[in-house]
Structure 1
Amino acid sequence: MSVRHGFEEELIELKTLVLDMGRRAKNALTESIEALVTQDIDRALEVIDKDYKINRLDDEINEKVIWLIAKQQPVASDLRRVISAIKISTDLERIGDLAVNISKSTIRVGEKELFKPLKDIPLMAEKVSDMLSQSMKAFHEEDVAIALETADLDNEIDDMYGRLIKELLDYIAHNPELTPQVTQLAFICRHLERVGDHTTNISESVIFMVKGKQYDLNA
């Protein structure tokens, strides 16, 4: 096996690890919202308990990147692939943490009846989850067009966040007894908005990987 062929296999393995991490981060996000909607405390606890798997993948990716840079000394496009992998894994690790935060808020909300049916928050979560799927597709296919389309969706997420926070604050103003529950729901909205930001970061990393240029899509 040639040195080049061996290095390409290492890059494929690195990419596979990042894609696996993306799948786990998305699952954590989905499960955290489903736990909220059903007020399933046990399921929320499972999301928290399984977060170590995402963290372990992040560590494995970091170690592999360090090894590849030290041993293979990649240049140009190969180096961009390696750097992008570690940047994306960092964003995915934070998305996993945000899913944990959503689960913790769900636990704080508890099984007490919600002051209104949850519709907007699950819708926002669905859009964010779709964004994450698309950003990982862009990474997998190294497709700049998909990355740009995904980042454009973040404006919609930001608008939803603004509307939801205003609505929740209005509820508190008129029903102060709802403050503890509404505050936790507002935190969840904020966590989802942050997932959108990290997903946009992933799109930026894909563009850097393919084009070799830095873009600030969160601007």
Structure 2
Amino acid sequence: MNRDKHISSVFDRDLETIQALVVKMGGMVEAAINDAATALEARDEEMAEEVRRRDRAIDLMEVQINEDAARLIALRAPTATDLRMVLAVMKIAASLERVGDYAKNIAKRTSVLAQMPAIDGSGIALRRMAQAVNRMLQDALDSYIRRDAELAEDVRQRDLEVDQMYNALFREFLTYMMEDPRNISSCMHLHFIAKNLERMGDHATSIAEQVIYLVTGDLPEDTRPKRSSVPMATSLTGN
């Protein structure tokens, strides 16, 4: 019995170490979102380039988390419940890595947009959307740390707000393009950025769903309202 307690204690300690890496990775990703949005609004190419450079550290963090989690599984042979926790950590890290990639993509387009005429209000609107996504991500990670299924469900529901912001921005950019063909290139880049932010919200929602699964043992039923479809949205993003 004492041996079992010792094994459990070692597992908990190792898992806490990995979870600390996830929290650190989350902070890096939150900073990437904020800085990418700030660079876009300010048309700051130097800050945008810094976001792109820092993405490498986020990628390496995911690699380390996966390696540590795989080692933990191999050495500790966790029970079903403990294994679920380790797999959730790996899935959360994967979602964070994807969000970091989207922030990097925004930074790439910022450097291009800085050479084009500005579209009035676009930087502010996209920054507002980025802030909503960042709050979702922060709360999703907080719900994981606290094992708070209620907060995680709140994050799921708030994804609808991000979807609605995306739809509104798409229509606005489409109007700009129709009014003046010279706006097409800029608006296409801005639309890609809005789509990246919308996808970030989806990944924050995925993290929240992992938390609900950890706490309850079941993935939530898909009762969250879906975003309304936007004509041409798929064709414009190439997805």
Range of TM-score over shorter length: over 0.9
Shift of 1:71: 1.0
- Corresponding residue to 1:186 among 185, 188, 191: 191
Shift of 1:54: 0.5
Q: How does 1:1-219 map to 2 (within 5 A)?
A: 2-117=6-121, 118-215=123-220, 217=222
Contact 1:77 1:210 in 2 (8 A): no
Question: What is the alpha-carbon distance in structure 1 between the residues aligned to residue 79 and residue 10 of structure 2?
Answer: 15
Q: Percent identity?
A: 33
Q: Unaligned 5+ residue runs, structure 1? A: none
Cα deviation per residue 1:144-201 (whole Å; 9 max; x = unaligned)? 0000001100001101111110110111011110111111111110000000000000
Question: What is the alpha-carbon distance in structure 2 between the residues aligned to residue 83 and residue 189 of structure 1?
Answer: 30
| SS across alignment from 1:119 | helix
Cα deviation per residue 1:112-166 (whole Å; 9 max; x = unaligned)? 4412033221111111110010000001111100000011000011011111101
Contact 2:58 2:97 in 1 (8 A): yes
Question: What is the alpha-carbon distance in structure 1 between the residues aligned to residue 161 and residue 148 of structure 2?
Answer: 22
May I ask how many residue pairs the two structures share in their alignment? 219
Q: Unaligned 5+ residue runs, structure 2? A: 227-239
Shift of 1:81: 1.0
Question: What is the alpha-carbon distance in structure 2 between the residues aligned to residue 119 and residue 4 of structure 1?
Answer: 50
| SS across alignment from 2:120 | coil
Shift of 1:111: 4.4
What code does the residue aligned with 2:18 have?
L
Contact 2:116 2:186 in 1 (8 A): no
Greater mean alpha carbon deviation, residues 34-43 or residues 3-12: 3-12
Question: What is the alpha-carbon distance in structure 1 between the residues aligned to residue 24 and residue 157 of structure 2?
Answer: 24
Question: What is the alpha-carbon distance in structure 2 between the residues aligned to residue 207 and residue 88 of structure 1?
Answer: 12
Contact 1:204 1:216 in 2 (8 A): no
Greater mean alpha carbon deviation, residues 86-95 or residues 3-12: 3-12
Cα deviation per residue 1:27-65 (whole Å; 9 max; x = unaligned)? 001100000011000110000001111111100011011
With the length of structure 2 as denominator, give the TM-score of the two structures: 0.88
Greater mean alpha carbon deviation, residues 2-11 or residues 41-50: 2-11
